[in-house]
């Protein structure tokens, strides 16, 4: 397998034309053919140090293209609209309840050829209030559904099922809140299909025929990749994982899952934020990348990166993330791992 640093910046969107990345408080545009040559840059916020950027979460988590000249970028409590032609950024939406970024964005092209965008609130929610799902409608973000108070802590992901025109919603974090939900296309009917165990606490899932392939995201127990039959709701284990899984991607017919290095969430809040102690479900100090080449169990570890020396929560979990990617190549971006935080790696011949 070939491994190379593709960019010394965090790639957010990669197409065969342009690459949108982030480094030291700036959005950067380069071409796919010559990725290291910066065509233009746009400053989001001036930051003094990389550690300060990590500490205060002054990095976009995700970005997605609206069209060829506009991108949505989640950054520092806002949804930004970046206009490439004018090289300007406008605030399109301000997140509520103290949220910095959603954990994932859901995007797809509907039957009318229009691109739709959704996100679920990813908040601390210590008071167990309501948690909402937002949809982008004519450049504005509107609530399309809210979980009632005392139902969930937050939303991990929303997955669109194009074949059946429905959504699957992944929620957490306590046993009673960890669940997989299904919603109709208008969110008029939202129901839990399975849950109430850490086994159903997930951030990453893919739809394969009549199965949902998902990885668990718990620091409290052992983690696995499961196959959930959507007719019988029978869940079978595909493989074990050495840590919780927060991010994943699909390239052609292969699914990729990255494990996180995260602390022991059973500790008091102040200790949790400073500790280097691993959670029970985290087996070592590496972020591992697993490939699932078929849903029958053809899985293998293909890559790993070691967590750096800084406190795990305070300076971010050790992890691999995946940019929005329209190519057939596999790219990862590094988070709090060696050799360096915030670079983009290309993996070849995997």
Residues in the chain: 350
Rg of the chain taking only CA atoms, in angstroms: 19
Within a domain: 296? yes
pLDDT at 316: 96
Show Cβ contacts of residue 81 under 8 Å, excluding neighbours closer than 6 positions. Answer: 66, 70, 71, 72, 73, 89, 90, 91, 92, 139
What torsion do the CA atoms of 103, 12, 326, 329 make, to the nearest 10 degrees? -100
**Lowest model confidence (mean pLDDT) among 48-57, 214-223, 238-247, 337-346:** 48-57
Task: With cut-offs at 50, 70 and 90, classify the pLDDT of residue 112.
Answer: confident
Number of folded domains that form the chain? 1
Within a domain: 110? no
List helix spans (H) across 262-313. Answer: 269-274
Within a domain: 340? yes
pLDDT at 3: 83
pTM over the 0.75 mark: yes
pLDDT of 303 above 60: yes
Mean pLDDT calculated for residue range 329-343: 96
pLDDT of 295 above 60: no
Would you say 168 and 212 are in contact if contact means Cβ atoms under 8 Å apart? yes
Full residue range of the structural domain in which residue 348 is found: 210-350
Task: With cut-offs at 50, 70 and 90, classify the pLDDT of residue 297.
Answer: low
**Lowest model confidence (mean pLDDT) among 47-61, 115-129, 187-201, 304-318:** 47-61
| Structure-token match 């053919």, residue found | 33
Within a domain: 297? yes
Mean pLDDT calculated for residue range 237-247: 97
If one compares 348 and 322, the residue with the highest pLDDT of the two is 322
| Strands annotated E in 217-253 | 223-229, 235-241, 244-251
Would you say 210 and 229 are in contact if contact means Cβ atoms under 8 Å apart? yes
If one compares 292 and 147, the residue with the highest pLDDT of the two is 147
Rounded distance between C-alpha atoms, residue 158 and residue 182, angstroms: 10
Within a domain: 7? no
Within a domain: 251? yes
Summarised one tens digit per residue, pLDDT across range 33-73 is: 999 899 999 999 988 788 999 999 999 999 999 988 999 99
Rounded distance between C-alpha atoms, residue 73 and residue 201, angstroms: 26
pLDDT at 296: 60
If one compares 315 and 349, the residue with the highest pLDDT of the two is 315
Within a domain: 246? yes
Would you say 38 and 28 are in contact if contact means Cβ atoms under 8 Å apart? yes
Task: With cut-offs at 50, 70 and 90, classify the pLDDT of residue 156.
Answer: very high
Within a domain: 135? no
Summarised one tens digit per residue, pLDDT across range 166-219 is: 999 999 999 999 999 999 999 999 999 999 999 999 999 999 999 999 999 999
pLDDT at 294: 64
pLDDT of 1 above 90: no
């Amino acid at each position: 397998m070939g491994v190379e640093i593709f960019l010394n910046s965090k790639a957010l969107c990669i197409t065969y034309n342009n690459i949108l990345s982030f480094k030291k408080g700036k959005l950067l545009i380069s071409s796919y053919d010559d990725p290291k040559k910066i065509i233009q840059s746009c400053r989001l916020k001036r930051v003094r140090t990389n550690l300060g950027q990590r500490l205060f979460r002054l990095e976009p988590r995700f970005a997605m293209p609206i069209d060829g000249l506009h991108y949505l970028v989640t950054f520092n409590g806002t949804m930004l609209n970046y206009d490439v032609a004018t090289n300007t950024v406008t605030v399109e939406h301000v997140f509520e309840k103290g949220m910095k970024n959603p954990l994932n964005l859901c995007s797809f092209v509907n039957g009318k050829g229009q691109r739709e965008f959704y996100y679920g609130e990813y908040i601390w929610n210590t008071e167990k209030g309501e948690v909402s799902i937002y949809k982008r409608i004519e450049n504005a973000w509107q609530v399309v559904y809210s979980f009632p108070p005392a139902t969930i802590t937050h939303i991990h992901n929303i997955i669109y099922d194009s074949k059946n025109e429905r959504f699957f919603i992944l929620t957490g974090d306590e046993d009673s809140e960890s669940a997989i939900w299904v919603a109709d296309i208008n969110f008029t009917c939202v129901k839990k299909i399975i849950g109430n165990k850490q086994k159903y606490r997930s951030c990453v899932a893919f739809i394969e025929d009549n199965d949902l392939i998902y990885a668990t995201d718990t620091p409290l127990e052992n983690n696995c990749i499961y196959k959930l039959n959507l007719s019988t709701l029978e869940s079978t284990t595909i493989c074990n994982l050495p840590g919780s899984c927060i991010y994943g991607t699909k390239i052609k017919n292969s699914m990729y899952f990255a494990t996180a290095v995260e602390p022991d969430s059973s500790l008091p809040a102040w200790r949790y934020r400073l500790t280097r102690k691993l959670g029970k479900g985290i087996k070592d100090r590496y972020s591992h990348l697993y490939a699932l080449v078929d849903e029958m169990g053809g899985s293998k570890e293909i890559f790993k990166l070691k967590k750096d020396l800084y406190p795990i929560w305070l300076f971010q979990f050790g992890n691999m993330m995946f940019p929005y990617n329209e190519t057939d190549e596999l790219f990862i971006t590094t988070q709090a791992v060696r050799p360096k935080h915030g670079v983009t790696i290309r993996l070849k011949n995997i």
